[in-house]
Amino acid sequence: MATGTAMAMLMANGLLPQGPLPDRGVTAAVVLLVPVVVPALAAGLAAVLGWRRWVAWVAVAASAAVLVAGIAAAVATVDGSVLAVGGVLRADALTSAMLLVIGGVSVIATWASVEYIGGELGAQKTTARGARRYAILVALFISTMAGTVLAANLGVMWAGIEATTIVTAFLVGHHGGRRAVEATWKYVIICSVGIALAYLGTVLVYYASQHSGGADGLKGTLDWTTLVAHADRLDPGVMRIAVVLLVLGFGTKVGLVPLHSWLPDAHSEAPAPVSALMSGVLLSVAGYALLRYRVIAVAALDPAFVRALLLVVGIGSVVFAASMMIAQRDYKRLLAYSSMEHMGLVTIGMAVGTPLAIAALLLHVLGHGLAKAVLFCASGQVLELTGTTRMDGVRGLLVRRPALAGVFALGIAALLGLPPFSLFASELALARATAGAGLSWVVGVALVLLLVVFVAIARPVAGMLFGPYDATDRGHADHGDTHEHPASVGAATARRWPSIVPLALGLVALVALGVAAPLDGLLQSAAAIVGTR
């Protein structure tokens, strides 16, 4: 009914034709509107009724609706078809792949939120007002990200990414306190700089289209399809500046150097399910914007310039993340720097740009999103159990919570790219694509850095899982290293399988993606769209 109301509004505003729609038009409208409208309605329900368990489950159902819409879009676009609603919403195979990432990660995060917020209310770590605000903002966050990847216009896509900054700023500061407030301001200021640079880049692309010599349909537009069709007519001088600004601007939201410093603070201070959404989806949505612009850039400019620019920020991000992970003592910050490392690998895949590289990076985005959703949500339970985020304060997890420890260990194995998880296949394919493009030295550098990352993660995590457990040791909870209220320590004992189920499902999905490869056709279609070089 809600989707039908939205369709009626679009018809009234001329964005959809009046009268009965052809069957495919109706299908397209439903598939494209559901990911935006349904989570927005869940946000409205939370605003009216406040946080209740069944309202939280409605958010889970809304996330599942996004996932189902993503599957429907994938089926409809796997053959290269495009779904469109007026000139506003558009989905091709690349969009469908991103909807699957958003839906899959959102299901895990919202499912985990049911117990997470329930536990916070029980421990008096948050108020009913805080829980209501959380429920509203998380649903809006999902709706905004879906709208961003469905936008047919690059200006609307920029506005969608800006909207995610506004929504998530309040979520980063959910716990309050000095560190959360500092992280929030850092996030807002740095991402505002980044989004301003992306805005300037977007304006320059529009300017280039406006002065393109009057090419048919190109003059003064930000429509992605039109720009791609006539990209070779865009002024190279203007586009060179625009591409640099866009890589720096959207790269800020991706967590790439040099404007990356917001990421570890924001991810470590945000509630665990929000960290899962930010790491698993938000970074990838900004990366999606770079992918869309890359197609235009390589047609308008010397492809070597675009490749060199993306290689510099991609390799630089992996180098910086690996160096910070070596000395890291906080497991949430370790996961945050790991996100930066994986986004660096994805950017290297963009730089290579061949169809194999694009298909591999999309699989990597999906695998990384699921792995980070599992690990951040699990880390929230570890924090509640132990009262500390310091790795040397967590010992004997395998003895204390075997199921949680098992999920955490398997999530780490997936993150490190071990088989049978999908990140093994995606990293292998990225290496093949990079070597095939004549960049064997990049493969060598990346392998050395991945070895450093492996040691930096595996060694301390082994201590967390197998280290001797002293029941009298509460880690560093009394030394300012935790956000936990003392009453909450031990509350985790009331949580068992219900909080583990979504994480286990995420791991099953990671294995299925790595072994059965069910998305090969969709990823190849997406790679054909943006894998131009």
Domain boundaries, the chain: 26-151, 153-301, 316-469+499-532
Cβ contacts of 401 within 8 Å, gap of 6 or more: 381, 385, 492
Task: Identify the bridge partners of residue 90 per DSSP, sorted by sequence position.
Answer: 84
Cβ contacts of 371 within 8 Å, gap of 6 or more: 411, 414, 415, 421, 423, 506, 510
What pLDDT, on a 0 to 100 scale, did the predictor assign at position 484? Answer: 42
Q: Are 90 and 147 in contact (CB under 8 A)?
A: no
| 83: three-class secondary structure by DSSP | strand
Cis preceding-peptide flag for 460 (omega within 30 of 0)? no
Q: Which residue is listed with tokens 């301003």?
A: 196
DSSP structural state of residue 394: -
Burial 59-98, CB ≥16 within 10 A → b, else e: bbebbbbbbbbbbbbbebbbeeeebbbbebbbbbbbbbbb
What pLDDT, on a 0 to 100 scale, did the predictor assign at position 480? Answer: 40
514 φ, ψ to 5°? Answer: -80, -30
- Cα(79)–Cα(164) distance, rounded to whole angstroms? 31
- Cα(160)–Cα(147) distance, rounded to whole angstroms? 7
Question: Which residue type, as a one-letter code, is found at position 383?
Answer: L
- Considering only the C-alpha atoms of the chain, give the largest distance between any 2 of them, rounded to a whole number of Å: 75
| 366: three-class secondary structure by DSSP | helix
What pLDDT, on a 0 to 100 scale, did the predictor assign at position 10? Answer: 47
Cis preceding-peptide flag for 271 (omega within 30 of 0)? no
What is the radius of gyration, based on Cα positions, of the chain? 22
Q: Are 282 and 164 in contact (CB under 8 A)?
A: yes
**220 exposure class (CB count in 10 Å sphere: 0-12, 13-18, 19+):** exposed
**48 exposure class (CB count in 10 Å sphere: 0-12, 13-18, 19+):** exposed
Question: Which residue type, as a one-letter code, is found at position 457?
Answer: I
- Cα(327)–Cα(150) distance, rounded to whole angstroms? 40
What pLDDT, on a 0 to 100 scale, did the predictor assign at position 495? Answer: 56
Reported pTM: 0.91
What pLDDT, on a 0 to 100 scale, did the predictor assign at position 477? Answer: 43
The four Cα atoms 398, 399, 403, 405 give a dihedral, to 10 degrees, of: -20
Per-residue pLDDT tens listing for the chain (533 residues)? 444 454 455 445 554 444 444 456 777 888 999 999 999 999 999 999 999 999 999 999 999 999 999 999 999 999 999 999 888 899 999 999 999 999 999 999 999 999 999 989 988 889 999 999 999 999 999 999 999 999 999 999 999 999 999 999 999 998 888 888 999 999 999 999 999 999 999 999 999 998 876 556 567 889 999 999 989 899 999 999 999 999 999 999 999 999 888 999 999 899 999 999 999 999 999 999 999 999 999 999 989 999 999 999 999 999 999 999 998 999 999 999 999 999 999 999 999 999 999 999 999 999 999 999 999 999 999 998 888 999 988 998 998 899 999 999 999 999 999 999 999 999 999 999 999 999 999 999 999 999 999 999 999 999 999 978 766 555 444 344 444 444 444 555 555 677 899 999 999 999 999 998 889 999 999 999 987 75
